[in-house]
Structure 1
């Protein structure tokens, strides 16, 4: 159906894609694997019309084409579902699916019937009359997929589609994707999760440094460890040893936190432990994190950091040994894309290099370069603007910057979302390592991450804790997936 032949793309001196040839076949699910910065998103942005290639040709049904915009790609039957959904919250599901379509005027009843029939055909359970603002993240994703199916897209590209889904929603998505493939659709699935790729894909292509280095059909795929090794180019250990430590001083105390969608949250975090909050995005995690990190004033209840009340702590926060925050929004909140990597390093670490009113720029530059090398941030040029980095490499810069200040309390919000397996392994190991001098509040929608790292877990649903358990409580651990969907497992 589609052939990418000799595709190349560079951004200044950075070579994102080089001489890539790839076939996309109807009725097949092709997974793209690769480290952060390997060129996966750039390649799919070219195929979906967001970027133009420098070299190479795209063939659709045997004919050479050149896409000047996503509209051209959609006309050719190629559509992409992005990690950040593009929906109008105040509109219904049916209105979002048909938004922008030309043709005769349609009544709301007819629109709902058309969308309901389309959803039923592909097993995408959704209420066409529901407003998007009332939907879960998994339901919103279904709306994005229905938009492409309504436009009769024959190739559907999904970029990290399970990042915002519960385990149950992930299973439903996979069933729908298999049904689409059975109906002749071609699926391209970008993911860093090996188990998902092995469970779903008919074909796997591995990209490394902008080139395709391996391709496998389903019957040829090696084991999970070998697949990870080929993706990274070295041996990767897929597990971390989370040995429990003796809890130390209390670094965070939250009592009766309410308002802004939160409902009486109470918990504490101590040095030597990872306290994880599990849940699907949109259930109050962001409001909680903003209260803890000083971005939002607590409406009700008490928040105490390092033994200091909230207002007093954020009036004059300590430069070192204080609070470090790894935000989920790495491009908007954590970094400034127009600044170079040294200035981005200094956004929160500048206090380590000031002497009175003066900034020791030379020392800061050297420290930033050390962080780039230690965390393998690519490309490792300190003078490069942050916008030239992939999302995963940007995240590695943020993690290195925050750990540099040796904080006593770390708030990590989906710290490995979008990271490849090698970078995830590194971040997990460092989060466990810093427990020797810090407490970690981990907020994550990735159940594997929670189970790998957490000493204690609170499951959050609609602004409250629906369950609180220790990692050793195996009976409840097995039920976390259900609890994330709002099913109480008490008793």
Structure 2
């Protein structure tokens, strides 16, 4: 041991030789990692690299097959989530675990010892004081059902802070946040680190990692392949290359495609969330819908895809009126939908990947009352291979996949159908840079036969892929313009804030 190693500060948590397998799938193998107090560690890796599995082990949700965990220099067994919490370790998952009918304060105190006997006002005051310390603005008296995704995330973090967690694990925390909410979260993370807490930050957004992390650990195929201070990384490009093992630029050539027939026409569409929407979409183009989350984008997608009925106005899909299109919509519909909620709407978590593949493709494998199971299995395997889904086992359950791999399965299923209209909500959310690059290429290729409505919170993605851009605010379309119109592009931020381009 060198003199520097002898004098190095003792890590708050040390993972030593951690291994975990699920059947024949090796998620983690011989992982050793130090997590230090007062620092933010970014944990990076491609989809399925084993990041979430490793952190679930640290959070007591899973048990390692091999290896052990050392906390404060003492070997510790984290047999349950409760023992991990008692040891000062807490995790905020991608899918929040809040009770929607309860208030913020009630959720924060739920499960806390002594919380049952506190007066509601005392709970609200304590949560408000905690939120003020970390500047995690949220009203303690509001019900969870009324909160945005960013506000719900703050509630999850407040739950951990009230438990005095010393290690906070945040799994893809910015995936559902606006740019302003992301910056607020980063400020809170820096305050936590400044108070001696250790923060572990799982993310695919490499520019954010460079902006907020102190240290970086990279997993590849279940093994740690690199650890470094962020100061030793020269650029986002270098970080992507270290993570993927090759150059990834996220700069793809967008060749012009001739416009074909109109696949979507919307005139004066109104609903509870939408006000006088006018839009047209043609085969051969990508129309990007951008705006702060909660400004009507979801309602627009759900009406187009038949999940909600329009209250007023006209919606025409492939030349047919909305009601007529969905009344006669049988067998292979020419409309493809990639929903933001991949677990709740896009898939059935307890079905295997073959059956999830068949959710929207089954009519192509039917002969009378019979399902051609072998043919479906073959196409499902082929799709998983093309979209690099891991594990590529068609009999794995959907809930066993990482979020990014589940997203790739949904994308593969919908692209396999070759629809003429594609509605894609946040199609690269939770995907690593290599998978994002592949999805971008698939979207650009698909527009040769389809019109694509791209709803995304990633402005860079919208600008890279879209032929035209529409900005939404307060349920209205503020403006629609060519993506090549640099003057209008420069004003997107103002349009997203509700300031008219004519102002």
Q: TM-score range by the shorter chain?
A: over 0.9
Q: Partners of 2:102 and 2:377 in 1: how far apart?
A: 49
Q: Partners of 2:343 and 2:120 in 1: how far apart?
A: 38
Deviates more, 1:119-128 or 1:290-299: 119-128
Tell me which of 295, 300, 318 is aligned to 1:283: 295
Deviates more, 1:250-259 or 1:384-393: 384-393
3-state SS, counterpart of residue 348 of structure 1:
coil
The CA deviation string for residues 37-95 of structure 1, in whole angstroms up to 9 with x for no partner, is: 10001111111122122211111111122223222211111111122223333444333
Per-residue deviation, 1:212? 0.6
Q: Partners of 2:375 and 2:435 in 1: how far apart?
A: 26
Aligned residues: 491
Per-residue deviation, 1:278? 1.9
Q: Partners of 1:336 and 1:173 in 2: how far apart?
A: 31
Q: Partners of 1:359 and 1:100 in 2: how far apart?
A: 47
Matching of residues 204-215 of structure 1 within 5 Å: 204-215=216-227
Deviates more, 1:203-212 or 1:271-280: 271-280
Q: Partners of 2:223 and 2:282 in 1: how far apart?
A: 45
Per-residue deviation, 1:485? 5.2
Q: Partners of 1:338 and 1:235 in 2: how far apart?
A: 37
Partner in structure 1 of residue 45 of structure 2: 34
Q: Are 1:61 and 2:72 an aligned pair? A: yes
3-state SS, counterpart of residue 447 of structure 2:
helix
The CA deviation string for residues 353-401 of structure 1, in whole angstroms up to 9 with x for no partner, is: 3344444333333222221221111122233333332221222122111
Per-residue deviation, 1:484? 4.0
Partner in structure 1 of residue 179 of structure 2: 167
Question: Is the Cα contact below 8 Å between 1:255 and 1:264 reproduced in 2?
Answer: yes
Per-residue deviation, 1:345? 2.0
Tell me which of 385, 388, 406 is aligned to 1:376: 388
The CA deviation string for residues 448-487 of structure 1, in whole angstroms up to 9 with x for no partner, is: 2222212222233343334433322334434434544555
Q: Are 1:25 and 2:36 an aligned pair? A: yes
Question: Is the Cα contact below 8 Å between 1:137 and 1:282 reproduced in 2?
Answer: no
Partner in structure 2 of residue 103 of structure 1: 114
Per-residue deviation, 1:320? 5.1
Question: Is the Cα contact below 8 Å between 2:49 and 2:221 reproduced in 1?
Answer: yes
Partner in structure 2 of residue 296 of structure 1: 308
Per-residue deviation, 1:443? 1.5
Q: 1:191 to 1:478 in 2, by over 3 A?
A: farther
Q: Are 1:139 and 2:165 an aligned pair? A: no
Deviates more, 1:465-474 or 1:375-384: 465-474
Q: Which runs of 5+ in 2 are unaligned?
A: 1-11
Per-residue deviation, 1:134? 3.5
3-state SS, counterpart of residue 342 of structure 2:
coil
Q: 1:386 to 1:19 in 2, by over 3 A?
A: same
Q: 1:204 to 1:371 in 2, by over 3 A?
A: same
Per-residue deviation, 1:200? 1.0
Q: 1:342 to 1:138 in 2, by over 3 A?
A: closer
Q: Partners of 2:104 and 2:370 in 1: how far apart?
A: 55
Q: Partners of 2:281 and 2:428 in 1: how far apart?
A: 21
Q: 1:399 to 1:58 in 2, by over 3 A?
A: same
Per-residue deviation, 1:8? 1.0
Question: Is the Cα contact below 8 Å between 1:271 and 1:435 reproduced in 2?
Answer: yes
Question: Is the Cα contact below 8 Å between 2:42 and 2:217 reproduced in 1?
Answer: yes
Q: Partners of 2:107 and 2:485 in 1: how far apart?
A: 43
TM (norm. structure 1) is: 0.93
Q: Partners of 2:322 and 2:451 in 1: how far apart?
A: 17
RMSD: 2.2
Q: Are 1:89 and 2:100 an aligned pair? A: yes
Per-residue deviation, 1:184? 0.8
3-state SS, counterpart of residue 390 of structure 2:
coil
TM (norm. structure 2) is: 0.91
Q: Partners of 1:84 and 1:427 in 2: how far apart?
A: 23
Tell me which of 199, 223, 234 is aligned to 1:187: 199
Q: Partners of 1:384 and 1:259 in 2: how far apart?
A: 40
Deviates more, 1:463-472 or 1:150-159: 463-472
The CA deviation string for residues 156-178 of structure 1, in whole angstroms up to 9 with x for no partner, is: 11111111111112111111211
Question: Is the Cα contact below 8 Å between 1:269 and 1:439 reproduced in 2?
Answer: yes
Q: 1:144 to 1:388 in 2, by over 3 A?
A: closer
3-state SS, counterpart of residue 333 of structure 1:
helix
Q: Partners of 2:292 and 2:100 in 1: how far apart?
A: 18
Partner in structure 1 of residue 356 of structure 2: 344
The CA deviation string for residues 418-462 of structure 1, in whole angstroms up to 9 with x for no partner, is: 111111110111101111111001112222222221222223334
3-state SS, counterpart of residue 262 of structure 1:
coil
Q: 1:269 to 1:434 in 2, by over 3 A?
A: same
Q: Partners of 2:89 and 2:497 in 1: how far apart?
A: 32
Partner in structure 2 of residue 417 of structure 1: 429
Partner in structure 2 of residue 237 of structure 1: 249
Per-residue deviation, 1:136? 2.9
Q: 1:332 to 1:92 in 2, by over 3 A?
A: closer
